[in-house]
Chain A
Amino acid sequence: MSKILVFTEFQNGKIKRSSQELLQFAATTGNTVAALVLGSTDGAQAAHHGATEVLFSADAGFNSYNPELFTVATAEAIQKSGATVVLASSSSTGKDLFPRVAAKIKAGVVSDGIEIKITGDDVKVKKPFYSGKCFATATFENTNVKIVLMRPNQLPVAAADVSKSATVTELTFTKPSLKTIIKDIVKGTSEKLDLTEANIIVSGGRGLKEAGNFKMLNDLADVLGATVGATRAVVDAGWVGHSMQVGQTGKTVAPSLYIAVGVSGAIQHLAGMSGSKVIVAINSDPNAPIFQKATYGIVGDAFEIVPALTAEFKKVLAH
Protein backbone atom coordinates (compact mmCIF):
# COMPACT_ATOMS: atom_id res chain seq x y z
CA MET A 1 0.00 0.00 0.00
CA SER A 2 1.31 3.42 -0.85
CA LYS A 3 0.42 6.80 0.52
CA ILE A 4 -1.40 9.62 -1.24
CA LEU A 5 -0.91 13.14 0.11
CA VAL A 6 -3.77 15.52 -0.71
CA PHE A 7 -3.03 19.26 -0.65
CA THR A 8 -6.23 20.39 1.05
CA GLU A 9 -7.53 23.90 0.40
CA PHE A 10 -10.04 25.76 2.54
CA GLN A 11 -12.48 28.58 1.96
CA ASN A 12 -14.31 30.28 4.85
CA GLY A 13 -13.19 27.55 7.25
CA LYS A 14 -14.53 24.69 5.11
CA ILE A 15 -12.70 22.29 2.80
CA LYS A 16 -13.21 23.42 -0.78
CA ARG A 17 -15.32 21.12 -2.93
CA SER A 18 -12.33 20.56 -5.22
CA SER A 19 -10.28 19.23 -2.28
CA GLN A 20 -13.20 17.10 -1.03
CA GLU A 21 -13.25 15.46 -4.47
CA LEU A 22 -9.57 14.58 -4.21
CA LEU A 23 -9.70 13.27 -0.63
CA GLN A 24 -12.73 11.10 -1.40
CA PHE A 25 -11.22 9.84 -4.65
CA ALA A 26 -7.91 9.00 -2.91
CA ALA A 27 -9.84 6.98 -0.32
CA THR A 28 -11.29 4.78 -3.09
CA THR A 29 -7.85 3.70 -4.34
CA GLY A 30 -7.05 1.48 -1.36
CA ASN A 31 -4.02 3.57 -0.44
CA THR A 32 -3.42 5.48 2.80
CA VAL A 33 -4.75 9.03 2.52
CA ALA A 34 -2.93 11.89 4.23
CA ALA A 35 -4.11 15.51 4.06
CA LEU A 36 -1.70 18.44 4.04
CA VAL A 37 -3.29 21.51 5.60
CA LEU A 38 -1.32 24.76 5.62
CA GLY A 39 -2.90 27.63 7.57
CA SER A 40 -4.82 28.13 10.76
CA THR A 41 -7.98 26.20 10.11
CA ASP A 42 -9.73 23.09 11.33
CA GLY A 43 -7.66 20.56 9.41
CA ALA A 44 -9.28 17.60 11.20
CA GLN A 45 -12.27 18.01 8.83
CA ALA A 46 -10.17 16.19 6.22
CA ALA A 47 -10.93 12.97 8.11
CA HIS A 48 -14.62 13.35 7.21
CA HIS A 49 -13.65 12.95 3.55
CA GLY A 50 -11.38 9.94 3.93
CA ALA A 51 -8.01 11.10 5.27
CA THR A 52 -6.59 8.95 8.07
CA GLU A 53 -3.63 11.25 8.63
CA VAL A 54 -3.57 15.04 8.74
CA LEU A 55 -0.32 16.94 8.49
CA PHE A 56 -0.87 20.58 9.43
CA SER A 57 0.92 23.80 10.19
CA ALA A 58 -0.90 26.81 11.60
CA ASP A 59 2.11 29.08 10.98
CA ALA A 60 0.85 32.64 10.38
CA GLY A 61 2.90 32.72 7.17
CA PHE A 62 0.34 30.43 5.54
CA ASN A 63 -2.55 32.85 5.92
CA SER A 64 -1.68 34.25 2.53
CA TYR A 65 -0.08 32.44 -0.39
CA ASN A 66 3.69 32.94 -0.50
CA PRO A 67 5.25 30.65 -3.13
CA GLU A 68 8.65 30.41 -1.41
CA LEU A 69 7.26 29.50 2.00
CA PHE A 70 4.66 27.09 0.62
CA THR A 71 7.28 25.38 -1.58
CA VAL A 72 9.62 24.64 1.31
CA ALA A 73 6.83 23.43 3.62
CA THR A 74 5.13 21.31 0.95
CA ALA A 75 8.39 19.71 -0.20
CA GLU A 76 9.23 18.78 3.41
CA ALA A 77 5.71 17.48 4.00
CA ILE A 78 5.93 15.21 0.95
CA GLN A 79 9.27 13.84 2.02
CA LYS A 80 8.33 13.39 5.71
CA SER A 81 5.00 11.75 4.89
CA GLY A 82 6.59 9.21 2.59
CA ALA A 83 3.84 9.82 0.03
CA THR A 84 4.51 8.61 -3.50
CA VAL A 85 1.46 10.30 -5.03
CA VAL A 86 0.45 13.91 -4.38
CA LEU A 87 -2.95 15.24 -5.43
CA ALA A 88 -3.93 18.89 -5.54
CA SER A 89 -6.50 21.01 -7.28
CA SER A 90 -5.55 22.81 -10.49
CA SER A 91 -6.45 26.03 -8.65
CA SER A 92 -4.58 29.30 -8.79
CA THR A 93 -2.53 28.17 -5.76
CA GLY A 94 -2.06 24.57 -6.92
CA LYS A 95 -0.89 25.53 -10.39
CA ASP A 96 1.56 28.07 -9.03
CA LEU A 97 2.96 25.98 -6.19
CA PHE A 98 3.42 22.43 -7.44
CA PRO A 99 5.66 23.02 -10.47
CA ARG A 100 8.08 24.75 -8.10
CA VAL A 101 7.78 21.91 -5.57
CA ALA A 102 8.37 19.39 -8.37
CA ALA A 103 11.56 21.17 -9.45
CA LYS A 104 12.73 21.24 -5.83
CA ILE A 105 12.25 17.53 -5.14
CA LYS A 106 12.89 16.41 -8.77
CA ALA A 107 9.42 14.97 -9.25
CA GLY A 108 7.04 14.77 -12.17
CA VAL A 109 3.97 17.01 -12.26
CA VAL A 110 0.90 17.01 -14.50
CA SER A 111 -1.67 19.80 -14.27
CA ASP A 112 -5.26 20.19 -15.47
CA GLY A 113 -6.14 16.49 -15.11
CA ILE A 114 -9.71 15.58 -16.05
CA GLU A 115 -9.54 11.81 -15.49
CA ILE A 116 -7.27 9.93 -13.12
CA LYS A 117 -6.59 6.26 -12.51
CA ILE A 118 -4.46 5.08 -9.60
CA THR A 119 -3.60 1.40 -9.24
CA GLY A 120 -1.22 0.96 -6.33
CA ASP A 121 1.61 3.26 -7.30
CA ASP A 122 0.73 3.46 -10.97
CA VAL A 123 -0.84 6.75 -12.03
CA LYS A 124 -2.44 7.65 -15.35
CA VAL A 125 -3.90 11.10 -15.98
CA LYS A 126 -5.90 12.31 -18.93
CA LYS A 127 -5.54 16.00 -19.66
CA PRO A 128 -6.52 18.46 -22.36
CA PHE A 129 -4.02 19.97 -24.77
CA TYR A 130 -4.67 23.21 -26.68
CA SER A 131 -7.35 23.95 -24.03
CA GLY A 132 -9.35 20.92 -25.09
CA LYS A 133 -8.87 20.71 -28.85
CA CYS A 134 -7.37 17.29 -28.08
CA PHE A 135 -6.54 15.08 -25.10
CA ALA A 136 -3.62 12.87 -24.09
CA THR A 137 -2.76 10.53 -21.25
CA ALA A 138 0.22 11.22 -19.03
CA THR A 139 2.34 8.59 -17.33
CA PHE A 140 5.31 9.12 -15.03
CA GLU A 141 8.86 7.79 -15.19
CA ASN A 142 12.11 8.30 -13.27
CA THR A 143 10.33 9.82 -10.31
CA ASN A 144 9.66 8.68 -6.73
CA VAL A 145 6.83 11.15 -6.35
CA LYS A 146 4.02 11.69 -8.85
CA ILE A 147 2.19 14.99 -8.56
CA VAL A 148 -1.22 15.41 -10.20
CA LEU A 149 -3.27 18.60 -10.27
CA MET A 150 -6.91 17.84 -11.06
CA ARG A 151 -9.44 20.27 -12.44
CA PRO A 152 -12.39 20.92 -10.11
CA ASN A 153 -15.79 19.23 -10.78
CA GLN A 154 -14.28 16.12 -12.40
CA LEU A 155 -14.83 13.67 -9.52
CA PRO A 156 -17.93 12.88 -7.46
CA VAL A 157 -18.41 14.11 -3.89
CA ALA A 158 -20.44 12.30 -1.24
CA ALA A 159 -21.62 13.81 2.04
CA ALA A 160 -19.01 14.20 4.80
CA ASP A 161 -18.83 11.35 7.32
CA VAL A 162 -18.38 13.20 10.61
CA SER A 163 -17.90 9.97 12.57
CA LYS A 164 -14.42 9.47 11.09
CA SER A 165 -11.23 10.77 12.65
CA ALA A 166 -7.56 10.99 11.74
CA THR A 167 -4.15 11.16 13.36
CA VAL A 168 -3.21 14.83 13.37
CA THR A 169 0.49 15.73 13.28
CA GLU A 170 2.01 19.19 13.30
CA LEU A 171 4.42 19.78 10.42
CA THR A 172 7.80 21.19 11.36
CA PHE A 173 9.96 22.67 8.64
CA THR A 174 12.96 24.93 8.23
CA LYS A 175 11.73 28.42 7.45
CA PRO A 176 13.64 30.01 4.58
CA SER A 177 14.61 33.68 4.55
CA LEU A 178 11.96 35.03 2.22
CA LYS A 179 12.59 37.17 -0.84
CA THR A 180 8.85 37.32 -1.53
CA ILE A 181 6.72 39.72 0.53
CA ILE A 182 2.92 39.75 0.23
CA LYS A 183 2.07 43.45 0.57
CA ASP A 184 -1.67 43.41 0.09
CA ILE A 185 -4.57 41.19 -0.90
CA VAL A 186 -7.52 42.86 -2.58
CA LYS A 187 -10.46 40.44 -2.54
CA GLY A 188 -12.56 40.21 -5.68
CA THR A 189 -15.91 41.96 -5.35
CA SER A 190 -17.75 38.85 -6.53
CA GLU A 191 -19.07 36.32 -4.02
CA LYS A 192 -19.37 33.86 -6.88
CA LEU A 193 -17.17 30.83 -7.45
CA ASP A 194 -14.24 31.27 -9.82
CA LEU A 195 -15.04 30.25 -13.40
CA THR A 196 -12.72 27.25 -13.14
CA GLU A 197 -14.69 25.93 -10.14
CA ALA A 198 -18.20 26.96 -11.13
CA ASN A 199 -20.80 24.27 -11.71
CA ILE A 200 -22.95 26.55 -13.91
CA ILE A 201 -21.62 29.30 -16.20
CA VAL A 202 -23.58 31.91 -18.13
CA SER A 203 -21.34 33.39 -20.80
CA GLY A 204 -21.77 36.40 -23.06
CA GLY A 205 -20.30 37.37 -26.43
CA ARG A 206 -20.48 40.16 -28.95
CA GLY A 207 -24.14 39.37 -29.59
CA LEU A 208 -24.91 41.26 -26.38
CA LYS A 209 -24.09 44.46 -28.31
CA GLU A 210 -22.76 46.49 -25.36
CA ALA A 211 -21.18 46.16 -21.91
CA GLY A 212 -24.32 47.26 -20.03
CA ASN A 213 -26.24 44.28 -21.36
CA PHE A 214 -24.17 41.93 -19.21
CA LYS A 215 -26.63 42.90 -16.45
CA MET A 216 -29.13 40.59 -18.13
CA LEU A 217 -26.64 37.70 -17.75
CA ASN A 218 -25.91 38.63 -14.14
CA ASP A 219 -29.65 38.43 -13.39
CA LEU A 220 -29.87 34.98 -14.95
CA ALA A 221 -26.68 33.87 -13.16
CA ASP A 222 -28.04 35.07 -9.79
CA VAL A 223 -31.12 32.89 -10.17
CA LEU A 224 -28.99 29.86 -11.08
CA GLY A 225 -26.12 30.46 -8.63
CA ALA A 226 -23.92 30.62 -11.72
CA THR A 227 -20.70 32.48 -12.52
CA VAL A 228 -20.62 34.84 -15.52
CA GLY A 229 -18.03 34.36 -18.26
CA ALA A 230 -17.24 36.13 -21.52
CA THR A 231 -15.58 35.71 -24.90
CA ARG A 232 -12.22 37.13 -25.97
CA ALA A 233 -13.93 39.65 -28.26
CA VAL A 234 -15.83 41.35 -25.44
CA VAL A 235 -12.86 41.22 -23.06
CA ASP A 236 -10.68 42.85 -25.73
CA ALA A 237 -13.41 45.46 -26.23
CA GLY A 238 -13.10 46.26 -22.52
CA TRP A 239 -16.69 45.32 -21.61
CA VAL A 240 -15.56 42.99 -18.82
CA GLY A 241 -12.27 42.03 -17.13
CA HIS A 242 -9.88 39.35 -18.37
CA SER A 243 -10.60 37.21 -15.29
CA MET A 244 -13.97 36.48 -16.98
CA GLN A 245 -12.52 35.29 -20.30
CA VAL A 246 -13.26 31.71 -21.33
CA GLY A 247 -11.14 30.23 -24.11
CA GLN A 248 -7.65 29.27 -25.16
CA THR A 249 -6.15 32.54 -23.94
CA GLY A 250 -8.50 32.75 -20.96
CA LYS A 251 -9.88 30.11 -18.66
CA THR A 252 -10.62 26.53 -19.62
CA VAL A 253 -13.85 25.51 -17.95
CA ALA A 254 -15.90 22.32 -17.60
CA PRO A 255 -19.10 23.06 -15.67
CA SER A 256 -22.20 20.86 -15.65
CA LEU A 257 -24.08 23.56 -17.53
CA TYR A 258 -22.69 26.24 -19.86
CA ILE A 259 -25.16 28.77 -21.27
CA ALA A 260 -23.63 30.74 -24.16
CA VAL A 261 -25.53 33.91 -25.04
CA GLY A 262 -24.67 35.81 -28.19
CA VAL A 263 -21.50 33.73 -28.54
CA SER A 264 -20.69 32.77 -32.14
CA GLY A 265 -18.23 30.03 -31.17
CA ALA A 266 -14.75 31.00 -32.35
CA ILE A 267 -12.43 27.99 -32.35
CA GLN A 268 -10.37 29.36 -29.44
CA HIS A 269 -13.54 29.89 -27.35
CA LEU A 270 -14.89 26.42 -28.12
CA ALA A 271 -11.55 24.99 -27.01
CA GLY A 272 -12.03 26.51 -23.57
CA MET A 273 -15.58 25.31 -22.89
CA SER A 274 -16.40 22.24 -24.98
CA GLY A 275 -15.63 19.98 -22.00
CA SER A 276 -18.83 21.27 -20.36
CA LYS A 277 -21.39 18.54 -19.68
CA VAL A 278 -24.40 20.35 -21.13
CA ILE A 279 -24.08 23.35 -23.45
CA VAL A 280 -26.93 25.72 -24.26
CA ALA A 281 -26.50 28.12 -27.18
CA ILE A 282 -28.70 31.18 -27.62
CA ASN A 283 -27.89 33.02 -30.83
CA SER A 284 -29.74 34.86 -33.58
CA ASP A 285 -27.55 33.29 -36.29
CA PRO A 286 -28.61 29.67 -36.98
CA ASN A 287 -25.26 29.05 -38.69
CA ALA A 288 -23.14 30.11 -35.69
CA PRO A 289 -20.49 27.40 -34.99
CA ILE A 290 -21.54 27.32 -31.31
CA PHE A 291 -24.60 25.23 -32.34
CA GLN A 292 -22.29 22.41 -33.44
CA LYS A 293 -21.07 22.02 -29.84
CA ALA A 294 -24.39 22.71 -28.15
CA THR A 295 -26.69 20.18 -26.50
CA TYR A 296 -29.67 22.54 -26.72
CA GLY A 297 -30.02 25.48 -29.05
CA ILE A 298 -32.34 28.44 -29.27
CA VAL A 299 -32.23 30.50 -32.44
CA GLY A 300 -33.60 33.89 -31.57
CA ASP A 301 -33.21 37.27 -29.95
CA ALA A 302 -31.20 37.02 -26.72
CA PHE A 303 -32.86 40.19 -25.42
CA GLU A 304 -36.23 38.39 -25.42
CA ILE A 305 -35.07 34.90 -24.51
CA VAL A 306 -32.74 35.60 -21.58
CA PRO A 307 -35.33 37.55 -19.52
CA ALA A 308 -37.92 34.87 -20.33
CA LEU A 309 -35.46 32.21 -19.20
CA THR A 310 -34.67 34.09 -15.98
CA ALA A 311 -38.38 34.34 -15.21
CA GLU A 312 -38.94 30.65 -15.99
CA PHE A 313 -36.01 29.48 -13.81
CA LYS A 314 -37.26 31.70 -10.98
CA LYS A 315 -40.66 30.07 -11.20
CA VAL A 316 -39.35 26.51 -11.37
CA LEU A 317 -36.57 26.84 -8.78
CA ALA A 318 -38.90 28.49 -6.25
CA HIS A 319 -40.65 25.15 -5.75
Chain B
Amino acid sequence: MQPDKQNANLRIAALVSVGKHPGSGRARRAEQDARAVEMGLAMAPQGLEVLHAGDPHAEALRAYAGMGLKKIRILQQGENADAVPALSQYLGESKPDIVLTGVRAESGESSGMMAYLLGEKLGMPVVTRIAEIVSIDNGQANLLQALPRGQRRALRVPLPFVASVDMAAAAPRQSAFGPASRAEMEAKKADVEVRDEVQASWSEAPARKRPKRLKVVKAKTAADRFKAATAKSSGDGGKVLRDKPASEMAQAVFDLLLEEGVIR
Protein backbone atom coordinates (compact mmCIF):
# COMPACT_ATOMS: atom_id res chain seq x y z
CA MET B 1 0.00 0.00 0.00
CA GLN B 2 1.89 3.00 -1.26
CA PRO B 3 0.47 6.33 -0.16
CA ASP B 4 -0.64 8.03 -3.34
CA LYS B 5 -1.57 11.62 -4.02
CA GLN B 6 -5.24 10.86 -3.61
CA ASN B 7 -4.70 10.26 0.03
CA ALA B 8 -2.75 13.46 0.63
CA ASN B 9 -5.75 15.10 2.25
CA LEU B 10 -7.02 11.99 3.97
CA ARG B 11 -7.17 12.32 7.73
CA ILE B 12 -7.02 9.21 9.83
CA ALA B 13 -7.22 8.88 13.58
CA ALA B 14 -5.79 5.68 15.04
CA LEU B 15 -6.85 5.00 18.60
CA VAL B 16 -4.25 3.22 20.67
CA SER B 17 -4.41 1.62 24.07
CA VAL B 18 -1.91 0.15 26.47
CA GLY B 19 -1.65 -3.53 25.62
CA LYS B 20 -0.79 -6.44 27.83
CA HIS B 21 1.46 -9.32 26.91
CA PRO B 22 -0.43 -12.58 27.42
CA GLY B 23 2.61 -14.38 28.82
CA SER B 24 4.24 -11.86 31.08
CA GLY B 25 1.31 -9.50 31.64
CA ARG B 26 3.67 -6.64 30.91
CA ALA B 27 2.41 -3.45 29.25
CA ARG B 28 3.20 -3.28 25.55
CA ARG B 29 1.86 -1.88 22.30
CA ALA B 30 -1.41 -3.71 21.65
CA GLU B 31 -1.23 -5.93 18.60
CA GLN B 32 -4.43 -4.77 16.92
CA ASP B 33 -3.91 -1.12 17.76
CA ALA B 34 -0.41 -1.34 16.32
CA ARG B 35 -1.95 -2.72 13.13
CA ALA B 36 -4.31 0.23 13.06
CA VAL B 37 -1.32 2.59 13.32
CA GLU B 38 0.45 0.63 10.60
CA MET B 39 -2.60 0.92 8.37
CA GLY B 40 -2.75 4.64 9.02
CA LEU B 41 0.96 5.12 8.31
CA ALA B 42 0.65 3.21 5.06
CA MET B 43 -2.47 5.08 3.91
CA ALA B 44 -1.79 8.62 5.00
CA PRO B 45 1.50 9.17 6.83
CA GLN B 46 0.90 12.93 6.85
CA GLY B 47 -2.71 12.91 7.91
CA LEU B 48 -2.42 10.31 10.66
CA GLU B 49 -3.14 11.29 14.21
CA VAL B 50 -2.52 8.72 16.89
CA LEU B 51 -4.75 9.21 19.86
CA HIS B 52 -4.86 7.79 23.36
CA ALA B 53 -7.18 8.54 26.22
CA GLY B 54 -5.58 7.91 29.58
CA ASP B 55 -2.22 8.28 31.27
CA PRO B 56 0.31 10.29 29.20
CA HIS B 57 3.21 8.72 31.08
CA ALA B 58 2.43 5.15 30.07
CA GLU B 59 5.73 3.85 28.67
CA ALA B 60 3.96 1.41 26.36
CA LEU B 61 2.69 4.34 24.29
CA ARG B 62 6.26 5.05 23.24
CA ALA B 63 6.29 1.71 21.43
CA TYR B 64 3.72 3.15 19.01
CA ALA B 65 5.80 6.30 18.59
CA GLY B 66 8.78 4.11 17.69
CA MET B 67 6.97 3.18 14.49
CA GLY B 68 7.99 6.59 13.22
CA LEU B 69 5.45 8.98 14.76
CA LYS B 70 6.50 12.50 15.56
CA LYS B 71 3.89 12.76 18.27
CA ILE B 72 1.05 11.04 20.02
CA ARG B 73 -1.92 13.03 21.21
CA ILE B 74 -3.10 12.08 24.64
CA LEU B 75 -6.39 13.03 26.20
CA GLN B 76 -5.28 12.93 29.76
CA GLN B 77 -7.71 11.39 32.19
CA GLY B 78 -7.76 9.28 35.29
CA GLU B 79 -7.44 5.58 35.60
CA ASN B 80 -11.14 4.94 36.14
CA ALA B 81 -12.41 7.29 33.47
CA ASP B 82 -14.38 6.01 30.51
CA ALA B 83 -12.47 6.55 27.29
CA VAL B 84 -15.53 6.87 25.06
CA PRO B 85 -16.85 10.33 26.10
CA ALA B 86 -13.39 11.93 25.89
CA LEU B 87 -12.62 10.34 22.54
CA SER B 88 -15.98 11.06 20.97
CA GLN B 89 -15.83 14.67 22.15
CA TYR B 90 -12.36 15.08 20.60
CA LEU B 91 -13.14 13.20 17.39
CA GLY B 92 -16.40 15.10 16.99
CA GLU B 93 -14.34 18.27 16.83
CA SER B 94 -11.40 17.08 14.79
CA LYS B 95 -13.64 15.20 12.32
CA PRO B 96 -11.22 12.69 10.81
CA ASP B 97 -12.21 10.77 7.67
CA ILE B 98 -11.42 7.40 9.17
CA VAL B 99 -11.23 6.31 12.80
CA LEU B 100 -9.28 3.09 13.31
CA THR B 101 -9.40 1.05 16.50
CA GLY B 102 -8.42 -2.43 17.54
CA VAL B 103 -11.12 -5.06 17.78
CA ARG B 104 -10.80 -5.26 21.53
CA ALA B 105 -8.37 -4.02 24.16
CA GLU B 106 -5.80 -6.35 25.69
CA SER B 107 -6.43 -5.10 29.20
CA GLY B 108 -9.16 -3.46 31.18
CA GLU B 109 -12.75 -4.07 30.17
CA SER B 110 -11.80 -5.55 26.81
CA SER B 111 -15.44 -5.56 25.76
CA GLY B 112 -14.77 -4.81 22.11
CA MET B 113 -17.45 -2.10 22.24
CA MET B 114 -15.29 0.93 21.49
CA ALA B 115 -15.86 1.01 17.75
CA TYR B 116 -19.64 0.64 18.14
CA LEU B 117 -19.98 3.23 20.88
CA LEU B 118 -17.89 5.73 18.95
CA GLY B 119 -19.83 5.06 15.77
CA GLU B 120 -23.07 5.66 17.63
CA LYS B 121 -21.89 8.87 19.27
CA LEU B 122 -20.29 10.27 16.13
CA GLY B 123 -23.03 9.09 13.83
CA MET B 124 -20.61 7.26 11.58
CA PRO B 125 -20.95 3.82 10.02
CA VAL B 126 -18.93 1.10 11.76
CA VAL B 127 -16.99 -1.54 9.88
CA THR B 128 -15.65 -4.38 11.96
CA ARG B 129 -12.49 -6.37 11.55
CA ILE B 130 -11.01 -4.83 8.44
CA ALA B 131 -7.85 -6.31 6.98
CA GLU B 132 -7.00 -3.65 4.45
CA ILE B 133 -8.04 -0.31 3.05
CA VAL B 134 -7.57 -1.01 -0.64
CA SER B 135 -8.25 2.42 -2.05
CA ILE B 136 -10.24 5.56 -1.56
CA ASP B 137 -12.07 7.27 -4.39
CA ASN B 138 -14.94 9.73 -4.66
CA GLY B 139 -15.36 9.91 -0.93
CA GLN B 140 -15.76 6.17 -0.61
CA ALA B 141 -13.35 3.59 0.70
CA ASN B 142 -12.84 0.13 -0.71
CA LEU B 143 -12.17 -2.14 2.22
CA LEU B 144 -11.39 -5.76 2.77
CA GLN B 145 -13.08 -7.21 5.80
CA ALA B 146 -11.47 -10.22 7.42
CA LEU B 147 -13.64 -13.30 7.80
CA PRO B 148 -12.67 -16.56 9.46
CA ARG B 149 -10.33 -18.95 7.69
CA GLY B 150 -8.59 -16.35 5.63
CA GLN B 151 -11.66 -15.26 3.70
CA ARG B 152 -12.15 -11.63 2.79
CA ARG B 153 -15.25 -9.62 2.02
CA ALA B 154 -14.93 -6.57 -0.22
CA LEU B 155 -16.86 -3.58 1.12
CA ARG B 156 -17.43 -0.10 -0.14
CA VAL B 157 -18.03 2.39 2.63
CA PRO B 158 -18.62 6.14 2.44
CA LEU B 159 -16.31 8.39 4.43
CA PRO B 160 -16.24 9.10 7.30
CA PHE B 161 -16.43 5.80 9.11
CA VAL B 162 -15.14 3.95 12.15
CA ALA B 163 -13.34 0.67 11.57
CA SER B 164 -11.88 -1.91 13.88
CA VAL B 165 -8.69 -3.51 12.60
CA ASP B 166 -8.38 -7.29 12.59
CA MET B 167 -5.25 -9.29 13.32
CA ALA B 168 -5.30 -10.23 9.64
CA ALA B 169 -4.20 -6.70 8.72
CA ALA B 170 -0.58 -6.07 7.77
CA ALA B 171 1.75 -6.69 10.70
CA PRO B 172 2.96 -3.49 12.33
CA ARG B 173 6.43 -2.25 11.54
CA GLN B 174 9.17 -2.58 14.13
CA SER B 175 9.25 -0.01 16.87
CA ALA B 176 12.63 1.72 17.06
CA PHE B 177 13.96 2.94 20.38
CA GLY B 178 15.44 6.23 19.12
CA PRO B 179 12.31 7.78 17.61
CA ALA B 180 10.24 6.26 20.42
CA SER B 181 12.21 8.04 23.08
CA ARG B 182 12.22 11.34 21.21
CA ALA B 183 8.55 11.48 20.15
CA GLU B 184 6.41 14.20 21.62
CA MET B 185 3.67 13.07 23.98
CA GLU B 186 1.22 15.89 23.55
CA ALA B 187 -0.97 15.57 26.60
CA LYS B 188 -4.07 17.66 27.09
CA LYS B 189 -6.60 17.31 29.84
CA ALA B 190 -9.62 15.62 28.35
CA ASP B 191 -12.54 18.03 27.95
CA VAL B 192 -14.92 15.60 29.51
CA GLU B 193 -13.99 13.03 32.06
CA VAL B 194 -16.68 10.58 32.94
CA ARG B 195 -15.98 8.09 35.64
CA ASP B 196 -16.78 4.61 34.47
CA GLU B 197 -19.18 3.76 37.30
CA VAL B 198 -20.01 0.33 36.02
CA GLN B 199 -16.43 -0.71 35.75
CA ALA B 200 -15.60 0.79 39.13
CA SER B 201 -18.03 -1.58 40.76
CA TRP B 202 -16.29 -4.59 39.27
CA SER B 203 -13.37 -6.42 40.74
CA GLU B 204 -10.74 -7.80 38.44
CA ALA B 205 -9.16 -11.21 38.81
CA PRO B 206 -7.06 -13.28 36.48
CA ALA B 207 -9.17 -15.53 34.31
CA ARG B 208 -9.36 -19.09 35.46
CA LYS B 209 -8.82 -21.72 32.84
CA ARG B 210 -12.11 -23.41 32.27
CA PRO B 211 -12.43 -27.05 31.41
CA LYS B 212 -12.61 -27.53 27.70
CA ARG B 213 -14.43 -30.22 25.87
CA LEU B 214 -11.92 -32.45 24.16
CA LYS B 215 -12.13 -32.32 20.45
CA VAL B 216 -12.26 -35.90 19.29
CA VAL B 217 -10.75 -36.12 15.89
CA LYS B 218 -12.47 -38.88 13.99
CA ALA B 219 -10.29 -38.54 10.93
CA LYS B 220 -8.18 -41.56 10.23
CA THR B 221 -5.64 -40.13 7.82
CA ALA B 222 -3.51 -37.02 7.76
CA ALA B 223 -5.42 -35.82 4.72
CA ASP B 224 -8.69 -36.07 6.64
CA ARG B 225 -7.26 -34.20 9.58
CA PHE B 226 -5.99 -31.51 7.27
CA LYS B 227 -9.42 -31.22 5.72
CA ALA B 228 -11.06 -31.05 9.11
CA ALA B 229 -8.73 -28.27 10.15
CA THR B 230 -9.01 -26.17 7.03
CA ALA B 231 -12.35 -26.92 5.41
CA LYS B 232 -14.92 -24.17 5.36
CA SER B 233 -17.62 -24.94 7.85
CA SER B 234 -20.70 -25.62 5.87
CA GLY B 235 -23.92 -24.23 7.22
CA ASP B 236 -26.85 -26.56 7.66
CA GLY B 237 -29.64 -26.76 5.11
CA GLY B 238 -27.61 -25.27 2.35
CA LYS B 239 -28.12 -26.41 -1.15
CA VAL B 240 -25.68 -26.16 -4.00
CA LEU B 241 -27.16 -25.37 -7.37
CA ARG B 242 -24.94 -26.17 -10.25
CA ASP B 243 -25.18 -27.07 -13.92
CA LYS B 244 -28.88 -26.37 -14.18
CA PRO B 245 -30.71 -23.95 -16.41
CA ALA B 246 -30.28 -20.39 -15.19
CA SER B 247 -34.03 -19.82 -14.86
CA GLU B 248 -34.34 -22.84 -12.61
CA MET B 249 -31.55 -21.64 -10.34
CA ALA B 250 -32.93 -18.11 -10.24
CA GLN B 251 -36.32 -19.49 -9.28
CA ALA B 252 -34.74 -21.43 -6.41
CA VAL B 253 -33.05 -18.27 -5.08
CA PHE B 254 -36.28 -16.34 -5.41
CA ASP B 255 -38.22 -19.03 -3.57
CA LEU B 256 -35.71 -19.00 -0.74
CA LEU B 257 -35.82 -15.22 -0.37
CA LEU B 258 -39.57 -15.41 -0.31
CA GLU B 259 -39.52 -18.18 2.25
CA GLU B 260 -37.14 -16.26 4.49
CA GLY B 261 -39.28 -13.20 4.22
CA VAL B 262 -36.56 -11.06 2.68
CA ILE B 263 -38.89 -10.13 -0.13
CA ARG B 264 -42.61 -10.16 -0.07
A binds B: no
